[in-house]
Amino acid sequence: MSAVLLDGKALAAKLREDIGWEVQKLKQERNIVPGLGVVLVGNNPASEVYVRNKEKAVKDADMASFPHHLPATTTQAELLRVIYDMNRNEKVHGILVQLPLPKGINAETVLEAVDPAKDVDGFHPLNAGKLAIGRPTLVPCTPQGCIHLIKQAKEDLTGLHAVVVGRSNIVGKPVAQLLLAENCTVTIAHSKTRDLNLMCKRADILVAAVGQPEMIRGDWVKPGAIVIDVGINRVEAGEGKTRLVGDVDFENAREIAGFITPVPGGVGPMTIACLLQNTLKAASN
């Protein structure tokens, strides 16, 4: 039997509509227009696409956009100056520095320079730490999107075994914290995990965030599992064309899973919706 598709595009559209109403309310009641500053350094093609999509979403939600597209030659000191200026700017409620940053810039230093109250990516050590101790404030967007999608499949996750493949600070670790807060038993697996296939096979919820095209095979999936594919990988499709695939072998996994996210149209749109939600939250605070 084929899995139920978890439609991130539709869910994100619904979330963005609700956020749109909240933005209007904030304007009318408190004369506040939520503002997001997006910093892009250099010209990584994938980052350019992500940033363009984020800035369009900000405008569509009637929020204010403060774009800073800086050349690859930007120094760390120049980048820090841009961030300090936005930290002080009352019209900027959220700040996002698109990763990865060019060589020569220390991402940790840059992320720590963002005012934690404006850290809509939730990457500042203070916000990461608060999530880890169960006092979440601004939570990373992709992990939040994953939880929304999982809850489309099942509202109460208590006692389920969740396996997160990937241990990044952006997705793996925070999504594991959120699943723990939902009373799941959580395993974080990664490239050094032994018998990864067997580990995945035990997952009621499988979150794949490894950045390796179709690495999670269909027969690694437990029958009926909820499969969340965070990967967005561009691969050759013949005749000079390319296509996007996830970290999961979708066509085979969908025959075994109970619920599965497509790529594209799964987690990706949810990340952007959650970014708008965080910006609204930062502005309301």
Residues classed as catalytic: 54, 98, 121
Using CB under 6 A, which of the segments 8-16, 92-100, 153-161, 175-183 binds ligand GUN? 92-100
The verdict on 182 binding ligand GUN (CB under 6 A) reads no
Nearest CB to ligand GUN, comparing residues 170 and 207: 170
Work out which of 61, 82, 98, 101 binds ligand GUN, going by CB under 6 A: 98
229 counts as binding ligand GUN under rule CB under 6 A: no
Among the listed ranges 12-20, 96-104, 175-183, 220-228, the one in contact with ligand GUN (CB under 6 A) is: 96-104
Q: Is 99 in the site for ligand GUN (CB under 6 A)?
A: yes
CA distance 74 to 234: 28
Tell me how far, at minimum, the Cβ of 111 lies from ligand GUN, in Å: 9
**261 touches ligand GUN (CB under 6 A):** no
What is the token pair recorded at 198? Answer: 């067997």
Long-range contact set of residues 147-151: C-beta below 8 Å, sequence gap at least 24: 147/175, 147/178, 147/179, 147/182, 148/11, 148/15, 148/270, 148/274, 149/6, 149/8, 149/11, 149/228, 149/261, 149/266, 149/267, 149/270, 150/205, 150/226, 150/228
Determine the Cα–Cα distance for residues 106 and 13; give it in Å rounded to an integer.
35
Judged by CB under 6 A, the stretch of 94-102, 143-151, 174-182, 220-228 that binds ligand GUN is: 94-102
Under the binding rule (CB under 6 A), the answer on residue 97 touching ligand GUN is yes
Phi, psi at 83, each rounded to 5°? -70, -45
